[in-house]
């Protein structure tokens, strides 16, 4: 009798732990489009801090390609903050990495605003605003 009870308990725990994981559809759902030109900046000093950024992005499904330009960043030896980037969108989160450097980031997109964190010789808060989108007419 104890063997049957333990078997049922183990089966229930196994099923329950599988249900606790996020649904694969939720993980692959794309709810935002980041295509366009984004401008903004990063706070702080040194490294990537104090820089203004301009992102040029093109999204196809969850995949994003484009480039980033940084202005006014105090760079230490180790690379440039400008160059090509690639990334993905999952839900409303845009994650990216620079393909020819060390800049990485993860932002949350809400309409024409994007906020999050970039990393390059430290972690910094970034805030961007979409200034141009080919999918919508310009004001």
| Token couple for 102 | 């060390």
What confidence tier does 70 reach under pLDDT thresholds 50, 70, 90?
A: confident
Separation of alpha carbons 71 and 93, rounded Å: 24
| Token couple for 123 | 């972690």
- Indicate the number of domains in the chain: 1
Side-chain half-sphere exposure of 122, counting CA atoms within 13 A = 16
Q: If you compute the radius of gyration of the chain from its CA atoms, what whole number of angstroms results? A: 21
Residue 104, domain CATH? 2.40.128.120
Tens digits of per-residue pLDDT, 85-111?
Answer: 999 999 999 999 999 988 999 999 999
What confidence tier does 3 reach under pLDDT thresholds 50, 70, 90?
A: confident
What confidence tier does 83 reach under pLDDT thresholds 50, 70, 90?
A: very high
Q: Which distant-in-sequence residues (6+ apart) come within 8 Å of 40 by Cβ?
A: 52, 53, 114, 126, 127, 128, 129
Of 13-17, 19-23, 53-57, the range with the lowest mean pLDDT is 19-23
What range does the domain containing 107 cover? Answer: 27-132
Answer whether residue 50 is part of any domain.
yes
Answer whether residue 40 is part of any domain.
yes
Answer whether residue 36 is part of any domain.
yes
| pLDDT score at 7 | 63
Q: Is 68 helix (H, G, I), strand (E, B) or coil?
A: strand
Tens digits of per-residue pLDDT, 26-62?
Answer: 556 788 999 999 999 987 544 455 678 999 999 999 9
Which stretches of the chain are DSSP H helices? 2-20, 24-28
pLDDT > 70: percent of the chain: 65
Answer whether residue 57 is part of any domain.
yes
């Amino acid at each position: 009798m104890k063997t049957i009870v333990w078997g049922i308990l183990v089966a229930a725990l196994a099923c329950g732990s599988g249900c606790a994981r996020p649904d694969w559809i939720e993980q692959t759902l794309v709810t935002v489009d980041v295509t366009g030109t984004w401008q903004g900046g990063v706070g702080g000093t040194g490294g990537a801090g104090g820089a203004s950024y301009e992102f040029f992005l093109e999204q196809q499904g969850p995949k994003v390609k484009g480039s980033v330009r940084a202005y006014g960043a105090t760079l230490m030896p180790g690379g440039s903050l400008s160059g090509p980037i690639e990334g993905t969108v999952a839900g409303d989160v845009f994650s990216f990495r620079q393909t020819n450097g060390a800049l990485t980031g993860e932002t949350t997109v809400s309409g024409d605003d994007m906020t999050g964190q970039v990393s390059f010789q430290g972690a910094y808060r970034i805030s961007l605003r979409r200034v141009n989108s080919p999918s919508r007419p310009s004001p």
